[in-house]
């Protein structure tokens, strides 16, 4: 299933979303792993056709749905406990990550520090057939700056089929797909401090971004199985 975003007000969605395509990195971009997938630049406003393309079906599969939300953060509530009231007793707090301002993408390879670009998560280690059933990730922007979540429109199963058949989906499949000259559209969604998302990062190409921002942004993350609407929507 492609990228589907839950929304009630298309104008509110368009106000915080932009669209572009992707490219692979060049050898001189030494901060990145070779062949990493990154935004091509030239972000444009979301058009009506883009809204229609990401509109979820009448009965969406919750595990593949993206929601733009306001997590229930309070200064007196430990971050480890934030997801406890949301309905999944097995939800896991993954911790925090700090992104410097002006980063096109934010995730690095902890082994060598190079940026990995847009990628798939693999916490659940799911096979091709089960990739759409993975846990979704909640992100809360702790600030002080604004940040983005970038999401690809083609899901991991579709990419895997196109590149090498019904096998274990991997970030490398997306890299091969883009390197072969085939296009992928991506959306970036603006998140102010205190805002966040719930997204199937095991299933969709993604990464954080602080491009164009002049302040750093810390984010906190949780993994769990949550139904649609468990947090208040911002759109």
pLDDT in tens, 33-44: 999 999 998 999
pLDDT in tens, 91-120: 999 999 999 999 999 999 988 999 999 999
Confidence bin at 76 (pLDDT 50/70/90): confident
Please give the pLDDT value at position 59: 86
pLDDT in tens, 42-56: 999 999 999 999 999
Distances in whole angstroms, Cα of residue 234 to Cα of each of 5, 12, 22, 66? 12, 8, 27, 12
pLDDT in tens, 145-182: 999 999 999 999 999 999 987 788 999 999 999 999 99
Please give the pLDDT value at position 73: 84
Confidence bin at 7 (pLDDT 50/70/90): very high
CA distance 105 to 51: 24
Please give the pLDDT value at position 74: 76
Residue 172 has phi, psi (to 5 degrees) of -60, -30
pLDDT in tens, 175-225: 999 999 999 999 999 999 999 999 999 999 999 999 999 999 999 999 999
SS3 for the chain, per residue? CCCEECCCCHHHHHHHEEEEEEEECCCCCCCECCCCEEECCCCEECCHHHHHHHECCCCCCHHHEEEEECCCCCCCCCHHHCCHHHCCCCCEEEEEEEECCCCCCCCECCCCCCECCEECCCCCCCCHHHHHHCCEEEEEEEEECCEEEEEEEEEHHHHHHHHHCCCCCCHHHHHHHHHCCCCCEEEEEEECCCCEEEECCCCEEEEEECCCCCCCEEEEEEEECCCCCCCCECC
Percentage of residues in the chain having pLDDT higher than 70: 100
């Amino acid at each position: 299933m492609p990228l589907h975003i839950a929304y009630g007000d298309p104008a509110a969605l368009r106000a915080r979303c932009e669209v572009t395509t992707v490219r692979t990195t060049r050898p001189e971009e030494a901060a990145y792993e070779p062949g990493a997938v990154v935004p091509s630049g030239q972000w444009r406003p979301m058009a009506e056709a883009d809204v229609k393309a990401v509109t979820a079906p009448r009965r969406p599969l919750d595990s593949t749905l993206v929601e733009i939300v306001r997590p229930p953060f309070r200064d007196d509530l430990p971050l480890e406990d934030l997801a406890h009231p949301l309905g999944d007793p097995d939800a896991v707090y993954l911790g925090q990550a700090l992104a410097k301002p002006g980063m096109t993408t934010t995730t690095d390879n902890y082994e060598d520090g190079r940026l990995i670009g847009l990628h798939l998560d693999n916490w659940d280690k799911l096979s091709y057939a089960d990739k759409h059933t993975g846990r979704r990730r909640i992100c809360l922007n702790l600030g002080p700056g604004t940040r983005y979540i970038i999401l690809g429109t083609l899901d991991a199963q579709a990419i895997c089929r196109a590149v090498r058949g019904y096998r274990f989906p991997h970030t490398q499949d997306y890299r091969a797909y883009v390197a072969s000259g085939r296009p992928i559209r991506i959306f970036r969604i603006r998140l102010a401090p205190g805002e966040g998302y719930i997204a199937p990062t095991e299933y969709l190409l993604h990464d954080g971004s602080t491009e164009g921002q002049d302040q750093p942004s810390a984010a906190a993350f949780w993994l769990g199985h949550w139904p649609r609407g468990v947090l208040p929507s911002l759109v």
